[in-house]
Structure 1
Amino acid sequence: MRTFCSIVLCAAILTGLANGSHAAEQAPEQTPHFISGLICDTQEQAERFVLVLRDSVETAIGAVNNEAGTPDACMIATYGFVPGQTVSEVERNGTIVNVIEVRVLAVATTSGLQMIEPKTYYSIVPTRDRIA
């Protein structure tokens, strides 16, 4: 994740995730998708992000990164990925948020799109499912 430091974006997380949710619901495939959204080193960090998110994405990311002891455990980035499986569900305000694996293949930098050695990270996808 340290190589992502220069690509942190101030994009709205839910906008990017809404665009990526369709990809996460499809069967696993090898065609890369591109998104600006949350990416975390671990499943637990992505779950924690959902739980601490209030009014500010930046504040939630800061809290998770502080707990992790690293400034880039979670961040907003633009990246190319192959969606993986849903690894957990987190309840937030009566709504289910899926934590998914994303196999990152490329990242956006100031020099353009750069291929990287593929690595699995974690992101979130809000669902329309509600807890009764």
Structure 2
Amino acid sequence: MSFYKGEEIFLGKQLLGELYSCDHDALNDPQKMKEIMEAAAITANTTIVQSVFHHFSPHGVSGVVVIQESHFAVHTWPEHNFVSVDFYTCGDTAFPEKAMEYLVHVLAPNSYELKEVNRGDLKKIDQFAKKEI
């Protein structure tokens, strides 16, 4: 599946989020972060395949929610009250922006940034494929 942006066709969309000054106990709790990220995935209209989360010593959590449409990843730095997220979706049925809205609501950062990157430009993929034949 793909999605259109103007006249261009892309295979996927990647949203990169930076959440600053999150004052939340979940940042050091892998089970809580798993619950939050899975809820974000459901909010984004995605299908969860599997989730893996790891707690670092003395603090921090990294995790990934593998979704049928690609993946959602998170990394926390509780000592800095900072969260970094990566929402990668393929097709046009998932809404990663809604996942980010959910995280902002739950983790209540003082500030956040969001960057969108379109992935898999089909025109370029086709051009390179023709060169290799």
- Asked if these proteins are the same fold (TM beyond 0.5), I'd say no
Return the index of the structure with the highest Cα Rg: 2
TM-score under structure 1 length normalisation: 0.27
Taking structure 2 as the reference length, what is the TM-score of the superposition? 0.27
